[in-house]
Amino acid sequence: MEININEILLFKTNIRTEDDKKHIGKIMEEHKIGQWTVDLHDVDCVLRIVSPVLKHQDVITLVMKNGYTCEVLT
Amino acid sequence: MRARDINKVELVKQKAIELLVEVGFEGFTMNKLAKACRISVATLYIYYKDKDDLILNIGTEEVHRMSAIMLEDFDPESSFAEGLRQQWKNRAKCILENPLTAQMIEQLRSSTYQEKIFETFGEIFKEPLGKFMHNAIERGEIAAMPLETYWSVAFGPLYSLLRFHNEGKSLSGKPFVLTDEVLWSAFDLVLKGFKK
């Protein structure tokens, strides 16, 4: 399996519940972000996005504007 | 484009199996796994979408690997005694050489991942084992019986012995080590039981 590390964006968030996820899902859809997942089982609620065009800051701005915390996962 | 770092993926897999067996699915977290591998959590998320994705992927890979061992040198056209002997040999090897994976697969069996992972098992075994049993019945080597009866009689004793061995003790805590002699004399009894 080939993975392009540069296209994977990872964030620590507080997208914690199924409702939060639904909410974020709508926002992702509106912004045509197709490949995204949130790990609700994880303490860091990791948001993972695969995109060749998006930058970390784009996602942070978008998520925070909608009321969630979002920082780059290191 | 960069290929997966094979060594790192193998390390993650190995540690994930150890951790799953040690703490179970509930206690398993990406953080604990990253610590055990001495890598960052972010690295794990490069390879896997989330905890479920990781467990499903590793579980399925291991089931495939075990299945290949179980079917090694097994010919569905062989005589009943010979084919069953090969099955015993392979299954014993599988569990004795991969005790952690065997334990993880047992845990998976009673988990919510069960359905997705064991679909694969069924697909792989249905044809060769079905054919083998069918041949044995056709040739009059064994009587016709439900698959469940066949499986229980054919492998139940083997798995009991392997469990005693892995736990290091048998009934009422008596120390136990599985020897070839014990294994193959149990096999002979099973074979006798099947004989028409």
Segment B158-174, tens digit of pLDDT: 999 999 999 999 898 99
Whether residue B1 lies within 8 A of chain A, CB to CB, comes out as yes
Q: Are A41 and B52 a contacting pair at CB < 8 A?
A: yes
Nearest residue on chain A to B39, alpha-carbon basis: A74
Say if CB B92 and CB B66 are below 8 A apart.
no
Tokens of B93: 């090897």
* Contact residues, chain B, for A34 at CB < 8 Å: none
* B4 band by pLDDT with thresholds 50, 70 and 90: low
Query: What architecture is domain A5-72?
Result: 2-Layer Sandwich (3.30)
A38/B102 Cα distance (integer angstroms): 30
Name the class of domain B6-47: mainly alpha
Q: Is A73 left (phi over 0), alpha (psi -120 to 50) or beta?
A: beta
Whether residue B45 lies within 8 A of chain A, CB to CB, comes out as yes
Segment B7-21, tens digit of pLDDT: 888 999 999 999 999
CA neighbor of B62 nearest in space, from B9, B98, B24: B98
Whether residue A46 lies within 8 A of chain B, CB to CB, comes out as yes
Segment B31-48, tens digit of pLDDT: 999 999 999 999 999 999
Delimit the domains of chain B by residue range.
Answer: 6-47, 60-194
Query: If you count them, how many residues does chain A have?
Result: 74
Tokens of A66: 């909608």
% of residues, chain B, pLDDT over 70: 98
Delimit the domains of chain A by residue range.
Answer: 5-72
Tokens of B14: 């190995």
Tokens of B57: 């992927």
Say if CB A11 and CB A52 are below 8 A apart.
no
Segment B94-148, tens digit of pLDDT: 999 999 999 999 899 888 888 888 887 778 888 899 899 999 999 999 999 998 9
